[in-house]
Structure 1
Amino acid sequence: MSIDAVQLAQELTPYATAAITGYGAAVLARVESDAADATVNFGQRLLRHLTGRDASLDNPTAEQEALATTVFDMANAPEDADLKTVLRVQIRRLLAADPDLAADIAGWPRPTTPATITISTSGERSPAVQYNYATIHTGDRTF
């Protein structure tokens, strides 16, 4: 079975991006959080596999190291469109260079496609947050 590396990379990049956005540079760490959603967990697993961080690799390839460097760069600038393109190209190169790896990852069950989250607010000094686990102070008096 021949895997189209370009198409597979296009399909996988949103998961990798979600993981980098969710975890930052720690995305390549072995620890997974139960609180992370399925998309981020899948992206984290994908990136660890592609960079060789999920195995005891003593000598990762130059391509794997380049991908890891891009992950760290994206963690500092997650909205950088150029880095997202670089990430997709590097994933494509890794998959094209290793058909067995591409076939393995192509067979992984995927969570639903990551959705774009839009958060809006209205009203004077109304905070806009996706998740809040603590008190939000807007400067008003608290009773």
Structure 2
Amino acid sequence: MDMDVTHTAAAVMPFVTAAVQTYGAMTLEKLRDGVIDGASGASADWGRRLLLRILGKGETQAGIEGAVEELAAEPQDEDAVAALRLQIRRALASDPSLQADVSRILVDASSATSQVSTDFRVTQSAASFGSSQQAVLGNGTQNVQFK
């Protein structure tokens, strides 16, 4: 598997997960109908944009839709997240132009949702959903849940 495809699929996940967890069982319907919740947040909005682009392709669409539905039903299930990441990775691997488009969207999304501290040279981005927050720091991801 191409490392760029693997990296791109992993980079998509915080945004896509935020969208699925924000819209829940209505995710696919909201994507198809173009119904946007103004209070969804920046990460969920970028996730919606990414999902729309990724779902625009034919043969991998059914697998991605099924994985989105599974994640919406079990939003905290790591296996559901992994299943969706796998489906996205397959879609990206099968279409180099899709991977290029998604990579360009990710650059915009990261710019819009990142904060850079020049004092410590730390870049972070965060996506929040419900009582959880996912932050990406450097090459690692930290999940924090507030109770």
TM-score by length of 2: 0.69
Partner of 2:12: 12
Q: Secondary structure at the match of 2:60?
A: helix
Offset, 1:73: 1.3
In structure 2, runs of 5+ residues without a counterpart are: 115-124, 128-132, 134-143
Conservation of the 8 A alpha-carbon contact between 1:3 and 1:103: no
Instruction: For 1:29-68, list aligned pairs within 5 A.
Output: 29=30, 30-52=34-56, 61-68=58-65
**2:78 paired with 1:81:** yes
1 or 2 for the larger relative contact order (CA 8 Å, sep ≥6)? 1
Higher Cα Rg: structure 1 or 2?
Answer: 1
* RMSD, aligned α-carbons: 1.9
Residues matched between the structures, number: 112
Greater share of helix residues, 1 or 2?
Answer: 2
Normalised to the residue count of structure 1, the TM-score between the two structures is: 0.71
CA contact 1:15–1:114 (8 Å) conserved in 2: no
Identity %: 34
Unmatched runs of 5 consecutive residues or more in structure 1? 53-59, 121-143
Local SS of the residue matching 1:62: coil
Structure holding more strand per residue:
2
